[in-house]
Amino acid sequence: MERFYLAALLAVPKLKQNTVRRLLGSMKSAEAVWKAPMKELATFMTENEQTALMNFRNKKAGLPEKIANDVEARGIKVYTEESSEYPSILKEIAQPPMILFCRGTLVSDVQRIAMVGSRKATAYGRHAAEELSAELAASGLTVVSGAARGIDTFSHKGAMKTGRTVAVLGCGIDVTYPPENEELLCEIAENGAVISEYPPGTPPNQGFFPARNRIISGLSMGTVVVEAAEHSGSLITAEMALSEGRDVFAVPGSIYSPMSAGTNRLIQQGAKLVRSGRDVLSEYPAFSAAPEGKTSYAEEGLPQGLSHDEKKIYELLSHDEARTADEIIYALHGSGAANVAFLLLQMELRGLVEEDENHAYTRRIKEA
């Protein structure tokens, strides 16, 4: 039960992790801290922390038992810093989480790379994230991200095509956020790991996400920022990686795109520019890149089997800038206008292009 008393202590609002460590050093166990009279704990805590702990224990005296029951009922694993499954690289950061809840299999000492970016990802960012993560996972690296909308989601999806991925949540391990990623999180748990430092049932909180970011960067040898605006939260993850002496990489973007302002600035400040997975893997000789040939999606050739009209349409499309059927017809100067919608549908069914929520089209990245 010791792990569950620790989880209960860490769930107390306003009770800092450093304070919990001091209390454990004095009282020797989380159970002793949870059950001790407040006067025995007062010298190790601020007045606000004393009040927070007292009120929390009064309201949730049975919380350790509840966490234990929830964990058992849902098949959730619980790791502390003493557990063999706890990643050793995570212990190196300034504030390692004292507890981790896990669905799936967290392999302690594999090599990992973090991939982060904007929730409001462009077509360019989504394609870049999916392709890069697939290439990195195929090399043997485990891709770590935060299961958020946008870049995180596509980083996980790409990694699962060729290897393993880990999702780090800013809520309880059994809470799906964002809601549309429920199926994705189940797939990650089956083929990798979903982890959180928060007890089951903990709802997402804005203050939890910066704390989650330290785990994403802390698990990883380096962090790739795929797409980020000037003040994106992804830049916080990059700063955390730098503060821990880890590598930082960034995918360049258009100087006209506000969604690439943050990544372009990172490159200005010394982050390594990434055009393909090979640029990341060159920093880690133990991992092999894909065979020489295609070095970035910008250099991708035309698919085989395109008709004359399909080829003209495909050449107008890219991975980053979506075009509507009307824009394609205009670019073709009206040539074959009647067939464009039909040809786009046929190409979409063959997996060559994809349509977004605005009914605009981009090239679809190739399956790894």
Tens of pLDDT, residues 254-274: 998 999 999 999 999 999 999
Least confident of 43-47, 149-153, 250-254: 43-47
Domain boundary at 241, 263, 290, which?
Answer: 290
- pLDDT at position 300: 54
> What is the full DSSP assignment across 228-260?
--TT-THHHHHHHHHHTT-EEEE----TT-GGG
Q: How far apart are CA 351 and CA 71, in angstroms?
A: 41
Own/partner pairs for 338-341, CB < 8 Å, 24+ apart? Answer: 339/309, 340/313
Structural domain contains residue 82 = no
- pLDDT at position 33: 95
**Residue 54 sits in which domain range?**
2-73
Q: How far apart are CA 339 and CA 325, in angstroms?
A: 10
Own/partner pairs for 284-293, CB < 8 Å, 24+ apart? Answer: 284/111, 284/141, 284/221, 286/111, 287/111, 287/139, 287/140, 287/141, 288/139, 288/140, 289/135, 289/139, 290/135, 290/138, 290/139
Mean pLDDT value across residues 168-189 = 96
Asked if residue 260 and residue 355 are part of one domain, the reply reads no
Beta bridge partners of 99: 80
Rounded to a whole number, what is the distance in angstroms from the first to the last CA of the chain? 45
Asked if residue 282 and residue 350 are part of one domain, the reply reads no
- pLDDT at position 287: 80
> What is the full DSSP assignment across 150-210?
THHHHHHHHHHHHS-EEEE-SS-TT--SSGGGHHHHHHHHHHSEEEESSPTTPPP-TTHHH
Q: Is pLDDT at 367 greater than 60 in this prediction?
A: no
- pLDDT at position 187: 97
Each residue's pLDDT tens digit, 144-155: 999 999 999 999
Asked if residue 315 and residue 260 are part of one domain, the reply reads no
- pLDDT at position 309: 87
Structural domain contains residue 217 = yes
Structural domain contains residue 178 = yes
Q: Is pLDDT at 62 greater than 50 in this prediction?
A: yes
Each residue's pLDDT tens digit, 86-130: 999 999 999 999 999 999 999 988 999 999 999 999 989 999 999
- pLDDT at position 321: 79
Asked if residue 108 and residue 245 are part of one domain, the reply reads yes
Q: Which residue has the higher pLDDT, 97 or 333?
A: 97
Domain boundary at 240, 264, 290, which?
Answer: 290
Task: Answer whether 193's CB lies under 8 Å from 167's CB.
Answer: yes
Residue 135's CB is within 10 A of a number of other CB atoms, namely: 25
Q: How many domains does the chain have?
A: 3
Q: How far apart are CA 221 and CA 113, in angstroms?
A: 6
Asked if residue 265 and residue 316 are part of one domain, the reply reads no
Q: Which residue has the higher pLDDT, 290 or 277?
A: 277
Structural domain contains residue 278 = yes
pLDDT-derived band at 330 (thresholds 50, 70, 90) equals confident
Q: Is pLDDT at 298 greater than 90 in this prediction?
A: no
Global pTM value: 0.83
Residue 354 φ then ψ, to 5°: -140, 150
Q: How far apart are CA 199 and CA 101, in angstroms?
A: 7
Asked if residue 311 and residue 224 are part of one domain, the reply reads no
Q: Is pLDDT at 158 greater than 60 in this prediction?
A: yes
Q: Could you tell me the CA-to-CA distances from 34 to 24, 40, 98, 277, 302 in Å, in that order?
A: 10, 11, 16, 48, 64
Q: What's the chain's average pLDDT?
A: 91
pLDDT-derived band at 159 (thresholds 50, 70, 90) equals very high
Structural domain contains residue 244 = yes
- pLDDT at position 336: 60
Asked if residue 261 and residue 178 are part of one domain, the reply reads yes
User: What CATH number does residue 315 fall under?
Assistant: 1.10.10.10
pLDDT-derived band at 301 (thresholds 50, 70, 90) equals low
User: What CATH number does residue 190 fall under?
Assistant: 3.40.50.450
Asked if residue 256 and residue 177 are part of one domain, the reply reads yes
- pLDDT at position 184: 97
Structural domain contains residue 296 = no
For residue 291, whether the previous peptide bond is cis, meaning omega lies within 30 degrees of 0, is: no
Angle between helices 261-268 and 234-243 (to 10 degrees): 20
Asked if residue 185 and residue 110 are part of one domain, the reply reads yes
Residue 24's CB is within 10 A of a number of other CB atoms, namely: 17
Domain boundary at 290, 315, 342, which?
Answer: 290
- pLDDT at position 151: 97
- pLDDT at position 334: 64
Task: Answer whether 13's CB lies under 8 Å from 48's CB.
Answer: no
Mean pLDDT value across residues 209-228 = 96
From the DSSP assignment, how many helices (H) and strands (E) are in the chain?
A: 16, 12
Asked if residue 108 and residue 164 are part of one domain, the reply reads yes
Residue 15 φ then ψ, to 5°: -95, 110
Least confident of 99-108, 135-144, 213-222, 342-351: 342-351
Q: Is pLDDT at 297 greater than 60 in this prediction?
A: no
- pLDDT at position 299: 47
Structural domain contains residue 63 = yes
Structural domain contains residue 78 = no
Asked if residue 308 and residue 286 are part of one domain, the reply reads no
Q: How far apart are CA 317 and CA 312, in angstroms?
A: 9
Structure tokens at 114: 């973090």
Asked if residue 281 and residue 177 are part of one domain, the reply reads yes
